[in-house]
Structure 1
Amino acid sequence: MNKLEIKNLSFSYDNKSLVIDDISFKVRKGQFISIIGHNGSGKSTLAKLIVGLLDKKSGQIFFDDEEITKKNMTKLQTKTALVFQNPDNQFIGSTVEDDIAFGLENRNFPPHLMQKEIERFADEVGMSDYLKKEPSNLSGGQKQRVAIAGALILRPEILILDEATSMLDPKGKSTVRKVISRIHRENKDLTLILITHDIDEALLSDEVLVLSRGKLVKKGPPREVLRDEKMLHSLRLEMPFVYRFEKELNKIGIKSQAQNIDQLVEDIWASR
């Protein structure tokens, strides 16, 4: 079953040049897709169109096979959560606990049940020990994990992460990536859309969509899309490190079909 379907979607900020140009794709229930592309390719605009923050110029958006219009847009918005690039722009409460609870309060969630929910989703992102802390005192990675908890607590059917690690240091990126992988692994019905310009991050997903100048230029499994060196080079993108390293290994006779660093190490060790 398709959780989300985009048909011939187009959008322009100035009614002249198209930022999103006749894009079509489908996302299955529980699928994890990455949308990659250089800055200005239309990735974040597409995310805003999906959740209704922008009005499309033309095309159709379907949620559970039902077309989304202005009349029923709230149905999609209540079942979709978006985590933005800058975690500082998402904090409202004076403590981590307040921030995670904010969305539930807006939905009039029963107060006597709220604490249990807060603790559950704080634990899911590894932030249980920080509930009484002020968000301003957290690291970038910790802030982004709080933002993800605040999204998950709403129990969305689609979670969109828009450049969620782009402002983080390497340690913060690594931690958030692990959280994203675990969320996908443990929430089989949650449809996950990761928008990123980090090619290595896209390896986490089931399918990769590549945007360039508002057009969808390629889609498929990570191993197929992210090995297309010619296509990536034309878009000023590099192959993931693991594939570049694997290519060098093949030159010296070490065969590898690794999808991550751990598998690369195993292949090198096995070749000894």
Structure 2
Amino acid sequence: MTNKDEPSRHLQRRRLRGENAMNLGNLIHSSLPRLAPARSNSSFRDNGCENAAAIEARNVNFSISTRQGATVPILTDCSLTVPSGQLWMLLGPNGCGKSTLLRILAGLLTPTNGKVYVKRPKNYVFQNPDHQVVMPTVEADVAFGLGKSGFTSMEVRSKVLKALDAVGMSDYMQRPIQTLSGGQKQRVAIAGALAEACKVLLLDELTTFLDESDQIGVIRAVKNCLEKSEEVTALWVTHRLEELEYADGAIYMEDGKVIKRGDPMRIMNFIRAKQSSYSNQINS
């Protein structure tokens, strides 16, 4: 790819923020088979499924077809509910389907069948911040999604400052992006979502590539966002059990299914018991 192509590639990535995620997501996944659409959000709400939940999925299934024509199930009858204003974490072994489920909630994938409701506007934040934070400075990056919203320059700056303050990055407005750590870039990505007044944050393993200091900084930034605005809800995909202490609730998946959900500490104990049982089987 030439340097001439670079801005275009970055803009495509950045447009995954907010409602534009669905259009580009369909482009990214155009190699997947065409699947029967899930019932719309509006019909889901009409049936009384919204209640106080910001995120809800019922009996969601997702399958793909191989080149040989075989159907491979990825998700099977997955159901979950995340109450408004809370941080919930989605855990499970590698390949269990948690990131696929998150992408369905974001609108990047269409389920084979099932019902999905996510309060709008919603924003999907990547595992790798370099796929989303692309402008030269922190202020320009957070303001990116506000460019066509009809706000005055003063209104944009006010929204940017408020969003950066929520993630503890207000002192970094003029900093070049390339001088930031991985955790700081993740916080800028979250600020960009908040500046666009999102109601739901869908967070895909944000701390995978971060050291312990940046990991804690990102988690605290998300918690601070929720504490400052009761309207913001977050679903966080993670594989780190220690992050559960920051959650209001947790969901555990295995083999494409939701196995258990509820209190974070109960989920943690459940997972540790499974790990211990597996270790004992291996050792014996």
Identity in percent: 35
- Select which of 72, 80, 99 maps to 1:25: 80
CA apart distance, 1:36: 0.5
1:109 partner SS: coil
- Select which of 202, 214, 218 maps to 1:160: 202
Q: Look up the equivalent residue of 2:143 and give its one-letter code.
A: A
Q: 1:230: which partner in 2? A: 273
CA apart distance, 1:235: 7.7
Aligned equivalents of 2:256 and 2:278: distance in 1? 12
| 2:90 is the counterpart of 1:47 | no
Q: Deviations over 1:185-227 (max 9, x none)?
A: 2222211111101111122111110011211111110121111
Q: 1:220: which partner in 2? A: 262
CA apart distance, 1:110: 3.5
Aligned equivalents of 2:229 and 2:260: distance in 1? 27
Residue correspondence of structure 1 range 139-178 to structure 2 within 5 A:
139-178=181-220
Q: Deviations over 1:82-106 (max 9, x none)?
A: 1111001102311111110111124
What value does the CA root-mean-square deviation take over the aligned residues? 1.8
| Contact 1:36 1:202 (8 Å CA) reproduced | no
* Distance 1:21-1:156 versus aligned 2 partners, 3 A rule: same
Q: Look up the equivalent residue of 2:80 and give its one-letter code.
A: F
Q: 2:227: which partner in 1? A: 185
| 2:256 is the counterpart of 1:205 | no
Gapped regions of structure 1 (runs ≥ 5): 65-75, 237-272
Aligned equivalents of 1:190 and 1:204: distance in 2? 16
* Distance 1:179-1:215 versus aligned 2 partners, 3 A rule: same
TM-score (normalizing by structure 1): 0.77
Aligned equivalents of 1:154 and 1:220: distance in 2? 30
Aligned equivalents of 1:136 and 1:60: distance in 2? 41
* Distance 1:161-1:106 versus aligned 2 partners, 3 A rule: farther
Q: 1:9: which partner in 2? A: 60
CA apart distance, 1:158: 0.9
Q: Look up the equivalent residue of 2:59 and give its one-letter code.
A: N
| 2:78 is the counterpart of 1:35 | no
Q: Deviations over 1:10-64 (max 9, x none)?
A: 1123362211111012222212211011221111111110011111111111246
| 2:179 is the counterpart of 1:102 | no
| Contact 1:9 1:60 (8 Å CA) reproduced | yes
Q: 2:126: which partner in 1? A: 84
Q: Deviations over 1:249-272 (max 9, x none)?
A: xxxxxxxxxxxxxxxxxxxxxxxx
Aligned equivalents of 1:13 and 1:112: distance in 2? 48
| Contact 1:37 1:235 (8 Å CA) reproduced | no
Q: 1:256: which partner in 2? A: none
* Distance 1:223-1:124 versus aligned 2 partners, 3 A rule: same
Aligned residues: 223
Aligned equivalents of 1:161 and 1:232: distance in 2? 25
Q: 1:119: which partner in 2? A: 161
Aligned equivalents of 2:161 and 2:223: distance in 1? 20
Gapped regions of structure 2 (runs ≥ 5): 1-51, 280-284
TM-score (normalizing by structure 2): 0.73
1:203 partner SS: helix
Farther-moved stretch of structure 1 (163-172 vs 220-229): 220-229
Q: Look up the equivalent residue of 1:159 and give its one-letter code.
A: L
